[in-house]
Amino acid sequence: MRDLAEKWSVPPDWRNATIEVPGLKIGAVAGLHQRLVSGDLAAWAEASGFDGPAVGAFGLAEGMRYSVRLARDLLLAVSTTPFGMATGWFSEGFAVTEISAGLQVFEVEGPALDAFIARGTTLDPAGPPSASATLSFAGIGAIVYRRQRSLRIHVDRGLAAYLWTWMETVAANIATGSRN
Amino acid sequence: MQLFPCPFCGPRDETEFHYGGDAGNARPDGAEVPIESWTNYLYLRSNPKGTAREIWVHMSCGEFFVMERDTVTHKVLSSTALGGEHAA
Ligand SMILES: [Zn+2]
């Protein structure tokens, strides 16, 4: 039988994968705890203590734990420490699903960040605030917001290797002054 | 590339949206539906020149909504969340 696996490049070891060119530094963020919350988000905020506003596209996420809005009735809770809370359905009216292993997180920083964003989306990152952080980036569905001075991108783990090769190409183009 | 306004998210790339047909094209209900009603529901489209009312879904967030847009100029006139109600 043909080995189709050889058609795909081997994904990098995310623990030490970095892309570094003048003006841009890209790396993977490991060890984040991530959970999807759907349903009554106000009830979730009260029960969990995740009480800050859920950030939208290009919004600024702050603190050790924060939430990112994905839809009218859906958010992603992110924490550097374990949640200390069960998953499943809660009678208050929301459901919590573990998704830490399902989403790969990347962080992009540097003075060429705007040039990087311009290649990923037609949206203006300095435009009016958007309620949700889900958008098409580099042609795939992604969760995009700011963290300190970086841009944070969450994508389905199966698409992480693709996004990485896209980012390598874009970083090289930016470094050589190409408009692509 | 055109930006469409999702009632929840705001402007997004047109590739994030999926067309859901004419607004107000409700499925006939009941046992005695005349064949003309089924024909109208299944096959006849209004295809207006000018202002059109259409159902769209923003696939990134799952929002279904009514978008009014001009089929000649491509200008978007309004976008309204459906909120679970069928568009009239
Ligand atoms: Zn939306």
Q: pLDDT tens for residues A60-108? A: 999 999 999 999 999 999 999 999 899 999 999 999 999 999 999 999 9
> Which chain B residues have a beta carbon less than 8 Å from that of A123?
3, 11-13
Is B88 part of a structural domain of the chain?
Answer: no
Number of domains chain B contains: 1
C-alpha B74 to ligand 1 mean position (Å): 20
> Which chain B residues have a beta carbon less than 8 Å from that of A131?
8-10
CA-based nearest distance B6→chain A, Å = 10
Nearest CA-CA partner of A120 in A158, A171, A54, A55? A171
Is B74 part of a structural domain of the chain?
Answer: yes
Is B61 part of a structural domain of the chain?
Answer: yes
Q: What is the pTM for the complete model shown?
A: 0.91
When pLDDT is cut at 50, 70 and 90, the band that residue A7 belongs to is: confident
Complete domains list, chain A, with CATH: 20-176 (3.30.1360.120)
Contact at CB, B9 and A56, closer than 8 angstroms: yes
Please report the pLDDT score of residue B84 as a whole number: 58
| Stretch 29-68 of chain B: residues touching chain A, C-beta under 8 Å | 59-63
Q: Residue A80: how many CB atoms within 10 A of its CB? A: 12
Asked if the C-beta of B16 comes within 8 angstroms of chain A's C-beta atoms, the answer is: yes
Question: The domain spanning residue B21 has which CATH number?
Answer: 3.30.2270.10
C-alpha B61 to ligand 1 mean position (Å): 4
Please report the pLDDT score of residue A6 as a whole number: 83
Q: pLDDT tens for residues A38-52? A: 999 999 999 999 878
For B53, the domain range is 3-25+35-81
Instruction: Please state, in angstroms and rounded to a whole number, the distance separating the CA atoms of residues A46 and A143.
Output: 24
Nearest CA-CA partner of A105 in A56, A51, A147? A147
Q: How far is CA B54 from CA A61, A135, B61, B76, B82, in A?
A: 35, 22, 18, 11, 11
Share of chain A above pLDDT 70, in %: 100
